[in-house]
């Protein structure tokens, strides 16, 4: 049985409510569910509001009540088949008497998958893959973290047209425009961890918080992670009470990501200096690059990334450009271009 137009509309609605404002970015996936009556009308809907709260299916079934019997549940992710803080959604759907389940993305988590089989074994009609690409986009980072058992890494930097992040005298304010800085805060808010090295903390003393257009801290802040062996001076702003901070006493990017994964972190925003960027690039641990390019030439100064040991053009690291966006300047500031890119793996 193929999906109906009513089910497609319901899936689009489920995808929309899955990304409702205020839902935590992790560690759980974002999921939406819509329950349809046999005539295709909507009975109830629900979405997952974060770890420890009812899953989307449970929330929708609670709203539907007895009307769920004989209904169709349209869900953005395969119903789970494991017991964690809440019970299996597959069992809840069967117990509610749902006749048919349509889901978009198969669950990549082996600890939670199996709902499809459990539902079919119970006699429920199941269809998978409806708007799967759209559903995977909603949980792009979560899916990556589950499959690769490490956080997704976005490396962000600002640079002049000739690849300099600071002038010869060390000044760097402002290579990026105000529009670019506001855009950076928008991207920071989409991550659950911001990572820099101890050198950046020592020299630049960043606060590493997410702020709004009026430079006010937002309510939900990412974890601040500092990587490196040296001690941090107690007066550094990264140690204030604006957000949680963890010191990763290692120079190994693999170890740093493993420790962050153990803390249920799934998206790292890499904002450190050129040496930290080199370490992650050489370890092949950069999954996305966001570069803000200013139309200026410095001719000398700090490079955006430290020496990668590349001596011939044949060994250049290549990236695929995924998006180009112009950020207009104002009040005498330069227009910046934001490039979003995916590094091409070396193997």
The reported pLDDT for the residue numbered 314 is 93
pLDDT digits (tens, 9 = 90+) for 28-53: 899 999 999 999 999 999 999 888 88
Whether 312 shows a pLDDT value over 80: the answer reads yes
| Ranges 17-21, 61-65, 265-269, 317-321: which has the least confidence | 17-21
The active-site residue out of 7, 57, 271, 288 is: 57
Asked if residues 24 and 189 have their Cβ atoms less than 8 Å apart, the reply is: no
Q: What is the location of CATH 3.40.430.10 in the chain?
A: 150-343
**Mean local confidence (pLDDT), 235-257:** 97
Q: How far is 334 from 328, CA to CA, in rounded Å? A: 7
Q: What is the location of CATH 3.40.140.10 in the chain?
A: 5-145
Domain at 5-145, CATH homologous superfamily: Cytidine Deaminase, domain 2 (3.40.140.10)
pLDDT digits (tens, 9 = 90+) for 271-296: 989 999 999 999 999 999 999 999 99
Indicate the length of the chain as a whole number. Answer: 347
Q: Which of 161, 185, 156 lies closest to 294, judged by CA?
A: 161
Q: How far is 283 from 308, CA to CA, in rounded Å? A: 11
Query: If DSSP states are collapsed to H, E and C, what string results for 270-332?
Result: ECCCHHHHHHHHHCCCCCEEEEEEECCCCCCCEECCCCCCCCCHHHCCCEEEEEEEEECCCCC
Asked if residues 263 and 246 have their Cβ atoms less than 8 Å apart, the reply is: yes
Residue 107, token pair as written in the block: 């669950």
57 catalytic residue (yes or no): yes
Asked if residues 190 and 26 have their Cβ atoms less than 8 Å apart, the reply is: no
The reported pLDDT for the residue numbered 297 is 93
Domain at 150-343, CATH homologous superfamily: Dihydrofolate Reductase, subunit A (3.40.430.10)
pLDDT digits (tens, 9 = 90+) for 158-179: 999 999 998 898 877 778 888 9
Which DSSP helix (H) or strand (E) runs through 226? strand 223-227
């Amino acid at each position: 049985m193929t999906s109906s137009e009513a089910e497609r509309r319901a899936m689009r609605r489920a995808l929309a409510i899955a990304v409702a404002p205020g839902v935590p970015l992790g560690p759980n996936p974002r999921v939406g569910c819509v329950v349809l009556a046999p005539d295709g009308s909507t009975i109830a809907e629900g979405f997952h509001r974060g770890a420890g709260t009812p899953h989307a299916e449970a929330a929708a079934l609670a709203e539907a009540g007895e009307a769920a019997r004989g209904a169709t549940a349209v869900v953005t992710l395969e119903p789970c088949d494991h017991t964690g803080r809440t019970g299996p959604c597959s069992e809840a759907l069967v117990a509610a008497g749902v006749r048919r389940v349509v889901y978009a993305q198969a669950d990549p988590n082996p600890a939670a998958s199996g709902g499809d089989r459990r539902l079919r074994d119970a006699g429920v009609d199941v269809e998978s893959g409806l708007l799967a690409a759209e559903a995977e986009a909603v949980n792009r980072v979560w899916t990556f973290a589950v499959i690769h058992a490490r956080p997704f890494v976005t490396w962000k930097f600002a640079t002049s047209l000739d690849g300099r992040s600071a002038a010869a005298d060390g000044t760097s304010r402002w290579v990026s425009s105000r529009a670019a800085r506001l855009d950076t805060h928008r991207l920071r808010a989409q991550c659950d961890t911001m990572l820099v090295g101890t050198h950046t903390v020592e020299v630049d003393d960043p606060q590493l918080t997410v702020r709004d257009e009026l430079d006010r801290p937002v309510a939900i802040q990412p974890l601040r992670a500092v990587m490196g062996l040296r001690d941090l001076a107690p007066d550094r702003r990264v140690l204030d009470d604006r957000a949680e901070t963890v010191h990763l006493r290692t120079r190994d990017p693999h170890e740093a990501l493993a420790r962050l994964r153990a803390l249920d972190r799934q998206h790292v925003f890499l904002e450190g200096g050129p040496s930290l960027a080199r370490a992650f690039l050489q370890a092949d641990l950069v999954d996305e690059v966001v570069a803000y390019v200013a139309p200026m030439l410095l001719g000398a100064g700090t490079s955006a990334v430290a020496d990668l040991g590349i001596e011939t053009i044949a060994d250049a690291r290549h990236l695929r450009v995924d998006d180009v966006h112009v950020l207009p300047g104002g009040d005498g500031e330069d227009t910046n271009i934001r490039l979003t890119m995916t590094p091409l793996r070396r193997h």
